[in-house]
Amino acid sequence: MARQVSARLQAVAQTLCADRGFQFAGDLGSGAFKVAFLIKHEGRDAALKLAEVPGSPERFIREVAALRSCGHPSIATVFDAFTITDDDGRLVWVVIEEYLAGGTLEQRQAAHRLAIADIRAIGTSLAEVLGHLRDRRLVHRDIKPANILFRDTSSIPVLTDFGIVRMLDAPSLTHDFAAAGPGTPAYAAPEQLNNEKNLIDWRTDQFGLAVVLAEGILGRHPYQSIGESVRDAILKVSARSPLPDQTRLDLRAAGFGSLEQALEPWPVKRYRRPGDLVEAITNG
């Protein structure tokens, strides 16, 4: 089914490019909701992202509204967004945003273990992004290596994919009775895994960022003890189990003991302000 959707959306992308004078340049991959393609847009490389809209387009509208309200160098820039109808009458959401040629953090980690200095630089930049989002009452809710990209070979990250962004000043789109809120389980905070909407705020993203950084340092999920699976770690997070002692020791040995507080199961025990998190990551 996923392949059929991807092939269908590629045909839509090629038709769209032909109609609007864009140059179609190839496939960039797909995520949970979107398929992305490389195009030439107004003389520059750009990412064309398409997603079929099965019901209300509200979540897609919120994603673009959130991105357009931001103005941070470590948040992807949106050039255009609109809906079209394909040949079969399906509504398709279209977003054109900057192309990030440096690939994802996930790809970099698969290729080699990152240097501690690079992890610190990435963490500091993204902690600053969380402050930018907090000021706009936005919670990304899906901070993970696949959503952290780079414009080039530097260690300056760019946060992308605001597809499940939570606008704290707007009604929630997640059902109250859902067993879990949206997000990627391995990087989700306890309040996401347990759909505790009243606890969702910027500290939810703080937890996700801390998991990403700790994973890069340790080579495993921070709640994953030796011999355990990632699923075991997710269950521990959901149950609000304490951070394993070995994780605490390993983070301190690497100069990242500050992440212990960011990985606290209860939001109230994490860093209160983004500036505190930036300082903690910078200084270890």
pLDDT at position 170: 61
209 and 243 share one domain: yes
Q: Which residue among 98, 115, 136 closes a domain?
A: 98
CA pair distance 241, 264, nearest whole angstrom: 9
Count the domains in the chain.
2
Which backbone phi and psi does 68 adopt, to 5 degrees? -70, -20
CA atoms within 13 A on the CB side of 232: 12
pLDDT at position 188: 97
Task: Please state the pTM of the whole predicted model.
Answer: 0.89
Q: Average pLDDT of the chain?
A: 89
CA pair distance 265, 241, nearest whole angstrom: 7
**Residue 3 — pLDDT band, cuts 50, 70, 90?**
low
Q: Where are the alpha helices (DSSP H) in 70-189?
A: 105-111, 116-135
Q: Which residue among 64, 80, 98 closes a domain?
A: 98
169 and 209 share one domain: yes
Kindly tell me if the per-residue pLDDT of 2 is higher than 70.
Answer: no
92 and 116 share one domain: no
For residue 132, give the amino acid letter: H
Q: Which residue among 98, 113, 144 closes a domain?
A: 98
pLDDT tens for 50-108 read 988 876 677 777 777 887 888 899 999 889 888 888 888 888 989 899 999 999 999 99
Is 141 within 8 Å of 111 (Cβ atoms)?
no
134 and 260 share one domain: yes
134 and 258 share one domain: yes
Domain extent, residue 44, equals 2-98
pLDDT at position 121: 96
Is 86 within 8 Å of 51 (Cβ atoms)?
no
194 and 90 share one domain: no
